[in-house]
Every structure is written in structure tokens, then in C-alpha cells.
Chains A and B, each alone.
Chain A
Amino acid sequence: METIFCLLHTDTDGSLPKAALETLGAAKSLNAALAGSTLVVGLVGVDVQSAANRVASCGAKKFVGAAGADFAQARYATDAAAAEALCRSVLATVVIAPATSRWSRVLPGVAQRFNGRADTHVTGLAVSGSAVAINRWYYRQRMEAQMSRTQRPWFLLVDPGSQPAWQGEAGVAAVEAVAVNLPEACQRTTVTGLREPAADAQTIRPDANLLFVTGAGWTKKQADGQTHVPEAEKLIRDFLNLTRASLGSSKSLVDLGGEGQAVLAFLTHLNQIGQTGSTPRHPKGLSTCCHGEEPHTVGWRFISERRAISLDPNCGWARGKADVLYVADAFAVMKRVNELLAQKAG
């Protein structure tokens, strides 16, 4: 009989991140499909009551919480202690948590404390026979496995955006407080703040409808034998302003910065998509001046509709990686795209 423990943390404002509601949805579905299982919800944060109330009607048998100022910061030592105490208190056998940066840092280590196991980047949960089975990708999204395990507790980190969010009424939840032992050694690290680009320079927008990818072609010599980097920069910025798309990049383009070449000032490694970059989820993606090589396109695994503009009709996009490849000059096309978008906006 599995005890399915949906382990959530609050955001700094006490609310639940979207990924938490998605994970709860997955935990609930698993609970419904798995005969004899029970669902328990655990919460960690400064104050967890309002978050518990938000999901009060989810059908959990009980709610447990670790609350206090120590859990204001996303710090390994204190978060691990809280997660450990909560899992112990409910004798969790399957722990389902959102793969936020906060839980991803911590939960594999917590699994080790129980001699349990952790699997991450979970994109699907199901019951196969009478056992829990999960889907996850291997070799950077190149192949997908369905697997199950005998070890318990089994910690599952569910990829944000892979599950529909739980929807239900708020209410009043009775939260059982769990004490967490925090020795002084837990305080050796202090989170001192966040570094983020100014609001107008923030180009990574996980909730955007469109991923706009720029490749090294934007900085290469064009038909006239010249580079046109300032022009490229303006076209890209204007497009982002007009569409609020999220900006991705190929590795070659972001690496140019480290090599001291003229590059687009607003790009960093955080924008990089692919093998050694990110694998974002957006309904649509538009690639420009990028060759569509495999180490790049593995980062497009979860982009549903894909279009690309490249001068090269034999680039990777042409070989089944995009729905549409426009063989054209991206400078000319994007200039016109921006004009049309501006007209429609005006």
C-alpha cells in the first residue's frame, strides 16, 4: 500500500508555484489509479497555512507542514532537514515533488538519508500492473524510458509544464505541524539575494507562447561581405518587445561573448538551448540564423510547433526537425515581421 506524499514548498510570498499545482494534479491521478494508496500533502515555507488552504479540497487524507523563518531561503541544509522530517512523519513511500530549482537541489540527497531512490525530470506517471511507473528521458532528451522501481521511499521530481495543473476549490485545511531539528551546522550558508536582469532586459520568459531562438548566423558576414551586429541586435530586441517571446540561443552564439567577439549584449549562457543548455517548454518556437544541429535541437524536445529561417536549405531543420523551414535571409524577413507586428499593434 503506497503512501503518496505530495511534497510542496511555497514561493516567497506564501503562494504555491504553478509547478506545485501540476505536481498535485499528477499525485491525485496516481492516487486515484493506484488501489489502496493514500494521498498526503506536505508543505514547507515561512507560513504554509494559506498554501494549504489553496489546495484544501484536493482529497488528501492529511496535511503536514514545516513552517518558520528558517524556510524562507532555498538552502540545502534546512530544506533537506524539513523534507526529511516531513517524509518521516508520514512514512512516505512515493514522494512526488515539483522539479523546481529548490527541490531539485535537495530531494535526491534526502532520498539518500532514507536509503531510498530519486528519479528526476519525470514527465509521466502511471500505474502499470499494480506498480507505479514513470516516464523520463535519457541522454539529454534523446530517448524516453518507462521504468519502475522496487526501492522505497521513491522520490519523483516532476518536470514543470509536463502535467495539467490541479484545479479545485480553496478551503480551510488542518495542517499538522512537524518539528524540524536544525543544528547550527544548517546555518553555514546564507542566501543573500538574487541576481536578475533589469525587468526590461529579462529575456527568459518561461510562460511565453513563443520561443525565439537566435543562432550564430546573426553575427556572421552577410551577402555584402560585412557583419551587421547592431542591426541584428535591434531586430531581435524589437521582435521581443513586440511579441514578449522568450529568447533562446545556440551555443555558438553565446560562446562568442566568452571569446571576446562582437555579440548580442543581452545574451548569456542562461539563454542557451540544447545539450548543455536548457530544454524549455513553449507551444511554439521560431529559430533564426541557427543551423539546427542535434546538440542544439535536443533542447527543442518540448517545443510543439517549430519553424526556422535559415539560408541553408540543407541545415538540420530541413531534416525533420522543424515543421516549416523558410530558406531566406532572416534580416530581411524579421525586418518585415516587425513592421507587420508594429502595424497590427498600432
Chain B
Amino acid sequence: MSSAFQIVVCGSLVPDPLQTLEPVTGPTGPALKNEMMLPAVLDPWASHALYEAANLAKKAPGSKVWLVSLGPKAKLQQVMMTVAQKAPFELVALDGPASGFTDAFETAAALADAISAIPGLDKSKLLVFGGWESASRGAGVTMQVIGERLGIVDQFQGVDELTPNPDGSFQVLERIEGGRHQISRCAGAPAVLGWATGNLPEPKNNPQVGMVNMRTVMPALQKAKPVKVGAEGVTYASVTLPKQQRETRLVKDASPDDIAREIVEWIRQ
């Protein structure tokens, strides 16, 4: 049996990746066109962190999972309707912008404060999980800053696997260059882990888990503290869509032989 962990997963919401995004200039700087109307999902890599947290908590009896989420309250509520059915957790909600153009340091400060304020949190058991990058800012900065603010210097990024040992220590696999993983052994909590895809498929929706979660999700949303996060000190000179549109040449009705010849020639150029 492994020792118990207190796992805090940091994850916000992002626009559904299937949506077309367009930058506009808002009152406080760059924003997305129709941002509040875009359907949102839990940030994908943070979702993996949540699934891994739930799985680890199952393996280490006595463990507990929190999800700390900073986003516009109304949108958080929408996203929680599905997320709450995926894995057992207690929500800590912060009401504020989830825009990619807010500064990771300001977001991290708000999240670290929220984590510190969780009643009964025992740092010697604390694992702070999150995605190694968001799908909005895409920076890979927030988790490290949270760690520093909480005084945690065992940090891992691009994590695909955590294997707990009976003595509370654990092994971590982190993505590094060239399709390889670095293997580390950490003496135990506290630690920060920014997850990549991990090894678990997305759990099926479980309405029973959803019902239990909802008992705490709704009150957490109701008492979500408004937080002010922006991008102080940053000037955005421009935000533009790439000139990506290519003139696609469509090759139809050509024989495999002709196509193959053309491709081989192109590869060899």
C-alpha cells in the first residue's frame, strides 16, 4: 500500500479546439472574438492531470483530489457539468478571466493563494498537478511559479507517468527531446507535476460520480472569489492570425504511379 496524497489539480477552461478563433482588441487588451459565446472545455492537458490524479488517489487509499479552477464563473459552471462526471474531486473555484492573454504569473499567484487556503491541507502530502502547458497561453509557466510560491522545489514537466512506492517516494517519467523520457525518483511529496498526455484514456461520464461531485461543485461556484488577473507591464503591439491559407492544388484522378513519382521527386528535392 502507498501512503496517502493530497492532490491539487490546477486546470482552467479553454475554447473547444474545434472552434475557429479570431483575435480582437478588447477593453483590457487582446481578446477572442465572441469569447464568452465560445463553447469551452477543461484545458486538455489539465484534464489528463485530473484523470491521473483520480487514478493515483484510487491506488493510494486515504488520498483526496481537489480541482482548482480560475475562470469566468458562468463558464466554469457549464464545463463542470461534464467534468464532474469524469472523476471524484472537490472544486475550488476562482471567478476571473481565463484568457490566454492574461499573465501566467498573475494567474499563478491567485492559484497559489487558493491552494494555501484549502482547509486542512498538509504540505507533506501535497502533489500539485496541472497541464504542462495550457491550450490558451501555451506557456508552461504557471505550474513552476505556483511551485515556487508554495516553496516546492521538486518539480517535473511533461509528465507521462507517476508510479508511487510504498514508502511515499515515487518515480516520474518526463518527456524530453527526441521522443525520450527522463526517469527520476523523488523522495516524496510535496512536488509539482505538469502533465502531458499520461497513460489513461478519457474516463466515461459517470452520473453517480457527477452527483456526488455536484454537492460540492455548486456551493464552490456560488462562493467563488472574484480575482483580478491581467497582464500588468505587458504591451501587445499586435496579435494576428497567420497568413496560413495556401492555394491547395487538388490532384484528382491521377494514377498511384504518377502520384508516387511526384511525391518521390518532391521528397528528393
Chain A residues with a Cβ under 8 A of chain B: 74-77, 80, 100-102, 104-106, 108-109, 111-113, 117-121, 128, 133, 137-151, 185-186, 188-197, 202-206, 209-210, 243, 255, 258-259, 268-272, 275-276, 284, 286, 293-295, 298, 301, 305-307, 309, 313, 317-329, 332-337, 339-341, 344
Tell yes or no: B267 within 8 A of A by CB: yes
A189 near B185: Cβ-Cβ < 8 Å: yes
Tell yes or no: B121 within 8 A of A by CB: no
A142 near B21: Cβ-Cβ < 8 Å: yes
For A327, list chain B residues within 8 Å (CB). 250-253
A101 near B182: Cβ-Cβ < 8 Å: yes
For B28, list chain A residues within 8 Å (CB). none
For A144, list chain B residues within 8 Å (CB). 239-242
Chain B residues with a Cβ under 8 A of chain A: 14-15, 17-18, 20-21, 23, 30, 32, 44-45, 100-101, 103-105, 108, 135-141, 144-145, 147-149, 153-158, 160, 171, 173-188, 196-197, 199-201, 233-242, 244-254, 256-257, 259-261, 263-264, 266-268
Most chain B CB neighbours (cut-off 10 Å) among A80, A121, A189:
A189
- Nearest CB of chain B from residue A199's CB, rounded to whole Å: 11
State the CA gap A209–B253 with chains docked (Å): 28
Neighbour of A77 across the interface among B104, B153, B188, CB < 8 A: B153
For B101, list chain A residues within 8 Å (CB). 138, 145
Neighbour of B266 across the interface among A295, A307, A322, CB < 8 A: A307
A108 near B234: Cβ-Cβ < 8 Å: no
User: Could you list 18 further interchain pairs (A-B, Cβ under 8 angstroms) beyond the known A143-B242, A147-B237, A276-B197?
Assistant: A74-B182, A75-B184, A105-B158, A106-B155, A112-B105, A139-B21, A140-B135, A186-B153, A193-B183, A258-B199, A259-B201, A275-B44, A276-B135, A286-B267, A301-B244, A307-B263, A327-B251, A333-B256
For A141, list chain B residues within 8 Å (CB). 138, 242
Interface of B is mostly: mixed
- Nearest CB of chain A from residue B250's CB, rounded to whole Å: 5
State the CA gap A138–B250 with chains docked (Å): 30
Neighbour of B149 across the interface among A112, A121, A151, A189, CB < 8 A: A112
For B136, list chain A residues within 8 Å (CB). 138-139
A119 near B17: Cβ-Cβ < 8 Å: no
B248 near A323: Cβ-Cβ < 8 Å: yes
Q: Identify 10 residue pairs between A and B in the complex whose beta-carbon atoms are under 8 Å apart, listed by A's number.
A: A112-B145, A146-B236, A148-B234, A192-B171, A192-B183, A210-B267, A269-B197, A320-B245, A325-B248, A327-B253
A191 near B20: Cβ-Cβ < 8 Å: no
For B177, list chain A residues within 8 Å (CB). 100-101, 206
For B179, list chain A residues within 8 Å (CB). 196-197, 202-204, 268, 270-271
A148 near B235: Cβ-Cβ < 8 Å: yes
State the CA gap A125–B252 with chains docked (Å): 43
- Nearest CB of chain A from residue B176's CB, rounded to whole Å: 4
B156 near A76: Cβ-Cβ < 8 Å: yes
State the CA gap A332–B259 with chains docked (Å): 10
State the CA gap A144–B241 with chains docked (Å): 6
For B199, list chain A residues within 8 Å (CB). 258
Interface of A is mostly: mixed
- Nearest CB of chain A from residue B140's CB, rounded to whole Å: 6
Most chain A CB neighbours (cut-off 10 Å) among B181, B234, B247, B254:
B234
State the CA gap A134–B147 with chains docked (Å): 26
B233 near A149: Cβ-Cβ < 8 Å: yes
State the CA gap A110–B234 with chains docked (Å): 19
State the CA gap A190–B177 with chains docked (Å): 19
State the CA gap A98–B196 with chains docked (Å): 20
For A139, list chain B residues within 8 Å (CB). 14-15, 21, 32, 100, 135-136, 138
- Nearest CB of chain B from residue A85's CB, rounded to whole Å: 14
For A108, list chain B residues within 8 Å (CB). 104, 139-141, 144-145
